[in-house]
Amino acid sequence: MKNRLEQILQIDQDLNRIQDLDILLERILYFARRAVSADAGSIYIKDKGELEIRYAHNETLQKQLAPGQKLIYSIFRIPVNEKTISGYVAANGSNLNIPDMYNIPESRPYSFNTHYDKVSGYRTVSSLTFPLKTNQGDVLGVLQLLNAKDEQGNIVPFLEEDEPFVLHFASSATVALQRARMTRTLLLRMIRKAELRDPKETGAHVNRVGSYSCEIYEAWARRNRIPESRMQKEKDILRMAAMLHDVGKVGISDLILKKPGRFTDDEYLVMQSHTYIGARLFGDKESDLDAIARDIALCHHENWDGTGYPGRIDWRTYEPDPDAPRPVGRKGEEIPLFARIVSLADVFDALCSRRVYKEAWNEEDVLKEIRCSSGTKFDPDLVDIFFEILPVLKHIQQKYPDQE
């Protein structure tokens, strides 16, 4: 009992440290699985009468992958109704503990779809599914845990005594989820201001850039043996800061920002100012987010070989002068790591995306451009990592599609 209480307090504390919505969702799933020894699980968010899968874990299938690779799961939505297990839980706001998914009584309104077991070769046996419900009774999402394991690694039913603990966990997770959704809403409002000025800055674009950046950083951190606690903290901050990489465009004239043709040299110089305008928005360091967002805004157009912009300037006071020599560019590891990561993520997404002034490049040309820019525009180590985790990055594209 004492160990379970200590576990509850520790999880509450860990959840309250996380600020970003997507990082929180993945960690909620991780903590819940660990708490009741679940081999697998999924977390869904309720949206417009449907449940959208946001993250899925499966330890058994993960162990079959090469080191550093991540499990790729199907992106899908299911209706909130009583025909599926997750839909039933969302519709009724109550949990379900099913000991054998292949022997659900026919009297139940819901059933188990065995399709994913057949495709993956994984057999789902036990499940514990519960709602993420606010104090007002609103269901924000559903958490489903699969295949409880005993100390010998055998698959067993979830214990009834786990249910009160899981419900407390769900309550704590929902509070954290409400806070993170509020933070995401505020970030997207800032980004929408930039979107009004520059149609490229869409919610889908910044979500993809934030997600790409986190995956590249995580792979870099594991390669460089960064402690897990530090990596998780920095992923949380990076996810939000990367979304704000171009927020300085709110300070650029529409005559330049929305110009359909090529910029003149003077116009290009003004366009470059979105980097230090963005840095100034985070000039008063109140948190680690301010410091990292400032570095990213300022330096995400610097190039590995020193040919980028704005260069070695005092971002607090700098004003462009067409007659003055161009500031010397930052190069190599002089460019902050997170800015180097976002630079790669941003260009990748821009090349893959359709814009009013261009069609999306085909995948072969995009990857060729990234590979050819290694050592000039991009950090070569990060390009290597990019190609190692390319399946994960392509999965993110499916998760955050552009709205037509």
Give CB contacts under 8 A, 24+ apart, made by 205-208.
205/349, 205/353, 205/402, 206/242, 206/243, 206/244, 206/245, 207/22, 207/243, 207/400, 208/345, 208/349, 208/396, 208/397, 208/400
Does 249 participate in catalysis according to the annotation?
A: yes
Residue 263 token pair = 């910029």
Instruction: Kindly state the DSSP code that residue 248 receives in the 8-state scheme.
Output: G
Kindly report the three-state secondary structure assignment for every residue of 324-341. Answer: CCCCCCCCHHHCCHHHHH
Distance CA 291, CA 311 (A): 18
Beta strand 38-47 pairing with 96-98: unpaired
Nearest Cα to Cα of residue 123 among 115, 131, 132: 115
Max Cα–Cα distance, the chain, nearest Å? 81
Provide the residue type at 277 as one letter: I
User: Which 3 state secondary structure label does DSSP give 164?
Assistant: helix
Q: Strand ranges (DSSP E) for 115-219?
A: 127-133, 139-149, 155-156
Distance CA 167, CA 179 (A): 19
Residues 311 and 383: beta-carbon distance below 8 Å: no
Active-site choice (200, 235, 249, 377): 249
Beta strand 77-79 pairing with 127-133: unpaired
User: Which 3 state secondary structure label does DSSP give 347?
Assistant: helix
Distance CA 94, CA 128 (A): 11
Distance CA 350, CA 91 (A): 39
Directed axis angle between helix 203-223 and helix 228-243, to 10°?
Answer: 160
Catalytic residues: 249
